């Protein structure tokens, strides 16, 4: 054999041998054996194989910590309080952790590698979070940019949740998108309809998940959902609910109202629902909610358009939803049992509504919305 | 110019499908350091400090925010539309996450237009990265400078 052929062969052989050595060393050095995850001061103990990140290892035990980036350390959603020493906080974690979280031992669970026994603290709600295999049963356009998607749960077949909570939709790789991502969507379905999950998904131009739902997803497709998450829910008081939403922010309210009506829950609570849209083409469920208002005395529906054209023949409220809200909270909504604010929409809308509500006497502590949004 | 290790990692995350569907580079084939260097030169030529440009864009955003998604005219000159989705988007340099929003600002005096998000402002202020040529979110120094004049 001449040298020209032999040279590359020797190099290739050496590289293969080196790779083998690295793999063997990795097996020995990184064999952390069995480690124990102690959750909530001994309440749950999981014996697992060490060496992988905490996030994925917990998921393998059926404990699903929220995640939006699939464990790549880029969403900050997977925070967990670690009570034992697991080494210093990594540079990939610090941008997502506040000084207070750092002081409390909060870490990104996708960045913490399990090398020895570990003790963590998790909110009890996380134990009811499951991963569901589901089939798209319906996929309808409710406006030009919002789809109403109904998923039938195949395995497990039922979800137990409180209206207001959300699930994470697992978006598989497609087109140029090489890795799976997860995105949060509030459930619009009622907890009583436990075999289905309904989501309202607004297209974000260029968005990874919403482009998938709006252009690739079809009836009959199988997807995965993880949930339920979140603590946005109706408070058990007699105070009237002042609810404000725009666009896909309709979802959790649809779930709350139909659930309250079905169970006659919180019977002392009056409900005022302000829904803002730009023009009729952004408005949806109008007839359905007006019907609900006619049938259910404690439900008051105030849809508003900010820019109706004369041809639309709009006979409801007009103006920005914050202005309409202000007119009503000032003197049209009875305050005898107190008021609570419930908000779902963009951060801009939420901030503007909080300003209106607080200057009209609703305490900031009585205004509820998804803090992560 | 040579890229640092952090820049190489960030460059990978800027490709389509890693953080956003279209990525941050458009059809620009230059190295990250070269894109940044050329834009710094463009800011110098235009006589605008990129920090001042970031402050200008932030101001348009906060005044445009009042429209809650409707086009709003700011100071009688710029028409600003702020749309936002819920959720956060990470910076490709892995040093923070920013509201998913998109702000369109059009200058009524010369028709100049930019589209940006909170992440774009961070990329400009912190990393001096205006995004590649052809990226829909590119903050072209000449265009932004013309809107500030
Ligand atoms: C608790 C919770 C509940 C939610 N419920 C709902 C719901 O019921 N319905 C619903 O529709 N949504 C909901 N969301 C939002 C949802 O989770 C997603 O964030 C949203 O659908 C967008 O996802 P995406 O993958 O399509 O967009 P992404 O791809 O993640 O992000 C798109 C954003 O990135 C920005 N961007 C893109 N490219 C660039 C660039 N080059 N430079 C700078 N910026 C750029 C754009 O401005 C755009 O806003 C909820 C979010 C939370 C946190
Ligand atoms: S899962 Fe996204 S940062 Fe951990
Ligand atoms: Zn950054």
CATH 3.10.20.30 domain span(s) along chain A:
34-124
Residue with tokens 């058990």, as numbered in its chain: A236
Average the pLDDT over A300-305 and give the result: 97
Average the pLDDT over A292-299 and give the result: 98
Residue A146 near residue A284 (C-beta atoms within 8 A): yes
How do A299-305 and A317-318 pair as beta strands? Answer: parallel
| Structural Rg of chain A based on CA atoms | 25
Average the pLDDT over B40-55 and give the result: 98
Confidence (pLDDT) at A1: 44
Give per-residue pLDDT as tens, B66-121.
877 778 899 999 999 888 777 888 899 988 888 888 899 999 999 999 999 999 99
Q: Return the structure tokens found at A82.
A: 């670690």
Going from the Cα of B88 to the center of ligand 1, the distance in angstroms, rounded, reads 7
How do A181-186 and A196-202 pair as beta strands? Answer: unpaired
CATH 2.40.30.10 domain span(s) along chain A:
129-229
Q: Nearest-CA neighbor of A134 among A158, A109, A108? A: A158
Q: At what angle do helices B5-13 and B32-46 cross, to 10 degrees?
A: 90
Confidence (pLDDT) at A20: 66
DSSP helix/strand/coil, A332: coil
Separation between Cα atoms, residue B129 and residue B149, nearest integer Å: 21
| Structural Rg of chain B based on CA atoms | 15
Separation between Cα atoms, residue B133 and residue B135, nearest integer Å: 6
Q: Nearest-CA neighbor of A124 among A4, A67, A43? A: A43
Q: Is A347 within 8 Å of B22 when comparing Cβ atoms?
A: no
Alpha helices for A122-229 (secondary structure H): 208-211
Confidence (pLDDT) at A11: 54
Separation between Cα atoms, residue A39 and residue B61, nearest integer Å: 44
How do A339-344 and A367-368 pair as beta strands? Answer: parallel
What is the average pLDDT score of chain B?
92
First to last CA, chain B: 31
CATH of domain A34-124: 3.10.20.30
pTM assigned to the model: 0.87
Residues 6+ apart with CB under 8 A from A313: none
Q: Which of A238-252, A287-301, B6-20 has the lowest mean pLDDT?
A: B6-20
Residue A357 near residue A330 (C-beta atoms within 8 A): no
ipTM, 2 decimals? 0.80
Cis peptide before B57 (omega within 30 of 0): no
CATH 3.40.50.80 domain span(s) along chain A:
240-368
Q: Is A307 within 8 Å of B17 when comparing Cβ atoms?
A: no
Q: What is the architecture of the domain spanning A129-229? A: Beta Barrel (2.40)
Residue B84 near residue B61 (C-beta atoms within 8 A): no
Q: Is B90 within 8 Å of A74 when comparing Cβ atoms?
A: yes
Nearest-CA distance from A144 to chain B in Å?
16
Specify the fold of A240-368: Rossmann fold (3.40.50)
Average the pLDDT over A240-260 and give the result: 96
Separation between Cα atoms, residue A29 and residue A50, nearest integer Å: 12
Give per-residue pLDDT as tens, A27-58.
556 677 899 999 999 999 999 999 999 999 99
* Maximum alpha-carbon separation in chain B: 45
First to last CA, chain A: 67
Residues of B with CB under 8 A from a CB of A: 13, 16-22, 65-70, 82-88, 90-91, 94-97, 99-102, 136
How do A146-155 and A130-141 pair as beta strands? Answer: antiparallel
Task: Judge if the beta carbon of residue A205 lies within 6 A of ligand 1.
Answer: no
Residues of chain B contacting residue A178, judged by C-beta atoms under 8 Å apart: 17-18
Nearest ligand 1 atom to alpha carbon B102:
47
Residue with tokens 């103990």, as numbered in its chain: A45
Q: Is B69 within 8 Å of A347 when comparing Cβ atoms?
A: no
Alpha helices for chain A (secondary structure H): 3-29, 54-60, 99-103, 208-211, 250-263, 286-295, 321-331, 347-359
Residue positions counted in chain B: 149
Give per-residue pLDDT as tens, A174-217.
888 878 888 999 999 999 999 999 999 999 888 899 999 999 99
How do A222-229 and A240-246 pair as beta strands? Answer: unpaired
User: A107 φ, ψ to 5°?
Assistant: -135, 165
User: A123 φ, ψ to 5°?
Assistant: -60, 140
Separation between Cα atoms, residue A154 and residue A152, nearest integer Å: 6
């Amino acid at each position: 054999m001449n040298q020209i052929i032999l040279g590359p062969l020797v190099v290739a052989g050496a590289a293969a041998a080196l790779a083998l050595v690295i793999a063997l060393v990795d097996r020995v050095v990184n064999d952390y054996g069995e480690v124990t995850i102690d959750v909530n001061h001994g309440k749950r103990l999981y014996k697992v194989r060490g060496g992988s990140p905490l996030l994925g290892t917990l998921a393998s035990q059926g404990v699903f910590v929220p995640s939006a980036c699939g464990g790549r350390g880029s969403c900050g959603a997977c925070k967990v309080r670690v009570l034992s020493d697991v080494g210093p906080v990594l540079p990939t974690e610090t941008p997502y952790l506040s000084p207070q979280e750092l002081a409390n031992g909060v870490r990104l669970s996708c960045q913490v590698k399990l090398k020895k026994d570990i003790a963590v603290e998790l909110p009890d709600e996380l134990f009811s979070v499951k991963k569901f295999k589901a089939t798209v049963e319906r996929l309808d356009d409710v406006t030009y940019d919002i789809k109403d998607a109904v998923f039938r749960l195949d395995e497990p077949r039922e979800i137990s949740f409180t209206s207001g909570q959300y699930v994470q939709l697992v978006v598989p790789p497609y087109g140029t998108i090489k890795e799976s991502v997860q995105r949060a969507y509030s459930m619009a379905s009622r907890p009583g309809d436990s075999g289905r999950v309904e989501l309202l998904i607004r297209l974000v131009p260029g968005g990874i998940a919403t482009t998938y739902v709006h252009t690739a997803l079809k009836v009959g497709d199988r997807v995965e959902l993880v949930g339920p998450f979140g603590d946005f829910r109706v408070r058990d008081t007699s105070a009237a609910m002042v609810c404000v939403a725009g666009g896909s922010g309709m979802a959790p309210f649809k779930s709350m109202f139909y659930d309250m009506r079905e169970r006659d829950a919180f019977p002392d609570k009056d409900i005022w629902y302000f829904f803002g849209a730009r023009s009729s083409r952004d408005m949806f469920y109008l007839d359905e909610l007006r019907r609900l208002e006619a049938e259910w005395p404690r439900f008051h529906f105030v849809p508003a358009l900010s820019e109706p054209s004369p041809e639309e023949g709009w006979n409801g409220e007009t103006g920005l939803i914050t202005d309409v809200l202000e007119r009503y909270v000032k003197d049209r909504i009875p305050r005898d049992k107190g008021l609570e604010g419930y908000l779902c929409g963009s951060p801009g809308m939420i901030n503007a509504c909080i300003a209106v509500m607080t200057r009209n006497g609703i305490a900031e502590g009585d205004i509820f919305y998804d803090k992560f949004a | 110019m040579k890229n640092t290790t952090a820049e190489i990692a960030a460059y990978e995350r800027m490709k389509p499908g890693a953080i956003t569907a279209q990525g941050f580079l458009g059809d620009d084939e230059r190295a990250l350091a070269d894109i940044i260097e050329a834009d710094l030169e463009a800011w110098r030529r235009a006589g605008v400090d990129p920090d001042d440009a970031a402050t200008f864009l932030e101001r348009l955003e906060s005044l445009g925010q009042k429209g809650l998604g409707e086009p709003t005219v700011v100071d009688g000159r710029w028409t600003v539309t702020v749309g936002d989705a819920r959720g956060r988007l990470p910076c490709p340099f892995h040093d923070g996450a920013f509201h998913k929003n998109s702000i369109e600002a059009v200058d009524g005096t010369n028709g100049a237009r930019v589209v940006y998000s909170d992440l774009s402002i961070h990329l400009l202020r912190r990393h001096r990265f205006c995004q590649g040529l052809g990226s829909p979110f590119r903050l072209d120094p000449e265009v932004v400078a013309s809107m500030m004049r």
